[in-house]
Amino acid sequence: MQGKREFNIEQKWGFLAKADYGKNQADHFYKNISGWTDQYKKYASSGLTGSVKNYFGELESTLNKGKQDINKIYEAAEEVENDYAEKCGNVAFEMELYTDRINALLSVLHRGPVLNAFVAPDFAARLEKAKKELLEKEILALIANPDKLENLDIANRDVTAYISLISDKYRGQDLFGPPPIISNVERDLLIKCFEHQYPEKEKIMTAFLKPISKGGDHDNEVQCIKYLAYSSPEPYNNVFFKYLPKVNISEHHQSGTQYFSVGIFGGKNIYIDIGRVIYLDSSGNPAPTDPANKGGYATFFHEIGHAIDRLMGLPSPALDDAITIDVKNALRADIESRYLPPLSSQDQADIDAILDSLMAKAPLLQSTGDAARDAFANQVRTDTINHFENVVLKGGSNSTASDVYGGVTDNKIHGTWAHYPDSKGKSYWVEKGHKPSSEFFADAFSYHMTGYADSLKSIEDNLPKARKAFVDMIDAGQ
């Protein structure tokens, strides 16, 4: 391979010796400082002024010497780092123990508050940074040599560092495209590390995905699902794995609407289409991201969200109340910002009447007996409906707010996305009795698992109290 240099084993041990030197120096320094600190305590409590004074003089010179030692250690580490970059950059995987040595240095430095207080303040941060850069180099080398992933000995590696490095790098992006953003190597490396670190979670995942994994036709989708679940942040990761053993994939080639339902024996069953986790065009090629769609895998985790919401004992009246308050607050603020203020008490009464008329099951806006006032109220009402549809709740990233605003108002207020009445004209919300909290929960849970940042932001902006109620529920359900 171009640019690959043979790794010289003596060089390798040379670097490691330098790292060892740094570690020994740090150890030595630490012991020294600890000793002096003990003495200081002794002298200080005995109240011997002269001795304390002497002590301070000696302590100061020791600290200065210690600081010099620490700088030497840093230089040694930096030299190792430079040598490494220069000589081994292309053969990262030959350097098996290097990260361990850096970690050993770090652990010495982090050992005590005394040492932490006196080392160059950025020393540990710089070592951490060097470590991160090293991991990034290793990952790049792996991407260039994907066949090495198979035999990568992760038992001797800092797997949690890989997990957080790769998760942090890609969180909030539409990973699997199109076009795909994350490389398969990074995806698979994270999976390998996570399963090494959390074998009990791997077991749960493997059992859950069994219907999809069978036959090997959906290996790619299985890896993508694993990646999203494994890289999800806490507390969502814990909640997901806590409840997943009770969720079944009853169908994974569901035609038409994908859904969740409770089986006759109480099973929490999801009916999904593994072929539609990434949107495909009519020829089966990845379709350009449709802003009205919520993106790949969102529906998959949404249906699991419904199952988890049931397992946690929901739907929740507290969440439904919070959604109603959010919707009323948003409508009121919108009206007040577009008309006046200051509002007269009559205006306030009219706004209250408009808001009431927008809620589900509400009667039509009642006449006040004053034709001009009625006309104005009707105008405000119509403007508000249009403003939310065409501005506030427009677009795919607002789909949750659009849906649940529709739930609270029986679709008088909604954006691009809504649960419309069925073919017989029965309202999804009023006649069929679905709760906005249920869709809110499933969506919010899905966005945390898939990392859809725009959708989460829309929830925060448009449903702040509901968002807080949801987070409280997740915290309680851990």
Most distant pair of Cα atoms in the chain: their distance: 96
Q: Which is nearer to Zn ion, 29 or 441 (CB)?
A: 441
CB of 428 to Zn ion, least distance (A): 11
CB of 429 to Zn ion, least distance (A): 13
DSSP line for 318-387: HHHHHHHHHHHHHHHHHHHHHS-SSPPHHHHHHHHHHHHHHSTTPPPPPP-S-HHHHHHHHHHHHHHHHH
Stretch that binds Zn ion, among 96-104, 182-190, 202-210, 439-447 (CB under 5 A): 439-447
Q: Which is nearer to Zn ion, 302 or 381 (CB)?
A: 302
Q: Does 444 bind Zn ion (CB under 5 A)?
A: no
Stretch that binds Zn ion, among 124-132, 212-220, 386-394, 442-450 (CB under 5 A): 442-450
CB of 300 to Zn ion, least distance (A): 12
Stretch that binds Zn ion, among 13-21, 79-87, 423-431, 438-446 (CB under 5 A): 438-446
Residue 260: strand, helix, or coil: strand
Q: Cα 205–233–477 angle (5° rounding)?
A: 75
CB of 208 to Zn ion, least distance (A): 19
Tokens of 372: 């001009």
Closest alpha carbon to 128 in 113, 107, 155: 107
Q: Which residues contact 327 (CB under 8 A, 6 or more apart)?
A: 404, 405, 408, 409, 413
CB of 373 to Zn ion, least distance (A): 41
Q: Which amino acid is at 290?
A: D
- The burial class, CB within 10 Å (0-12 / 13-18 / 19+), for 130 is buried
Q: Is the peptide bond before 315 cis (omega within 30 degrees of 0)?
A: yes
Q: Which is nearer to Zn ion, 277 or 442 (CB)?
A: 442
- Cα→Cα distances 325→65, 251, 333, 454, Å: 63, 37, 12, 23
Q: Which is nearer to Zn ion, 231 or 299 (CB)?
A: 299
Stretch that binds Zn ion, among 154-162, 324-332, 435-443, 464-472 (CB under 5 A): 435-443
CB of 226 to Zn ion, least distance (A): 23
- How far apart, in whole angstroms, are the C-alpha atoms of residue 25 and residue 27? 5
Which single residue brings its beta carbon nearest to Zn ion?
442
Q: Which is nearer to Zn ion, 231 or 455 (CB)?
A: 455
Stretch that binds Zn ion, among 95-103, 132-140, 247-255, 437-445 (CB under 5 A): 437-445
Q: Which is nearer to Zn ion, 76 or 444 (CB)?
A: 444
Tokens of 478: 């851990």
Sole binder of Zn ion in the list 442, 444, 466, 474 (CB under 5 A): 442
- How far apart, in whole angstroms, are the C-alpha atoms of residue 229 and residue 247? 14
Residue numbers of the site for Zn ion (CB under 5 A)?
442
